[in-house]
Amino acid sequence: MLKKDFIEKKIDLIQEELVHLTDFSAFTLEQVSQDFYKYNTLERLLEKIIVRAIDINEHLLVELAGVENKIPETYRETFLQLATLGVYPEEFALQISRSVGTRNILVHDYDDDKTDYAKIYASVSSCLKDYHSYCQYILTFLKKTIKKEKHQDT
């Protein structure tokens, strides 16, 4: 059974962080990369947004996927599999799943301590766009699913 409160809480947190992330649009790459606190705040916001979405994805997959669905082996696959469940279009799944690469860079220091500030900074605009859409898709899907469950109960 879907945990509506869990999903809505995660969406609320993502949306709050998107508001804070919007503040970074006012700064240039140089302003962010030369300020330790700005850059680390930016990194943390991006990471939290992506990880919270992965939490939602995993919950939806556990609750909705049938035995015929394969268990996702990567976080990227969690985004892709939601398209197969009709949560959002496949094209969107391909687009937003790329954000896992940003998460991996942030979490695992894949740049060998040579952070590519430009790459992280550039991900802000796509993150804002993609995750606003993600929240809308998830909330719309949740409403339809809850409505369908209520209808089946009557």
pLDDT (0 to 100) of residue 118: 81
Rounded CA-CA distance 102/60 in Å is 22
pLDDT, tens digit, for every residue of 76-92?
999 999 999 999 999 99
Q: CA–CA separation, 72 vs 61, rounded Å?
A: 9
**In whole numbers, what is the pLDDT of the chain averaged over residues?**
88
What CATH homologous superfamily does 4-153 map to?
A: bsu32300-like (1.20.120.580)
| pLDDT computed for residue 113 by the predictor | 45
Query: What is the reported pLDDT for 70?
Result: 76
Helix/strand/coil (H, E, C) string of 94-117? HHHHCHHHHHHHHHHCCCCCCCCH
What are the sequence ranges of the domains in the chain? 4-153
